[in-house]
Amino acid sequence: MVEALPQEEVYRYGIVYCDEPAAGESADMRGVVEKPTPEQAPSRLSVIGRYVLPYCIMELLRDQPPGAGNEI
C-alpha cells in the first residue's frame, strides 16, 4: 500500500518506484528508495504497509551496513 506525500516530505519515507495507480487500483512496483532526497525520489508515493519476510532475509540483513538515516 502507498500514500502520496507532499514532495518536501519524501526524504522521511521509503518511496516507491511504479506507475501511479488510480485510487483503489494496483500497479506493479519496480523498487523502493529508502529516504531519498526530493530530487532523487522516483515518485511521491510512500510505503505505508509493513513487510512480512522469512527469517533467512534477517540473516542476510544482519551483515549489511546501516542505511539511510543510519538505520539498521
pLDDT of residue 66: 82
pLDDT tens by residue, the chain, 72 residues: 888 999 999 999 999 998 777 888 888 888 999 999 999 999 999 988 777 778 888 888 888 888 777 776
- Picking from 42, 49, 69, 64, the residue whose alpha carbon sits closest to that of residue 3 is 49
Is the pTM for the entire model greater than 0.85? Answer: no
Say if residues 13 and 35 touch (Cβ distance below 8 Å): yes
pLDDT value, residue 72: 65
Q: Of 11, 21, 9, 62, whose CA–CA distance to 1 is shortest?
A: 21
- In this structure, how many other beta carbons lie within 10 angstroms of the beta carbon of residue 48? 12
pLDDT value of position 44: 93
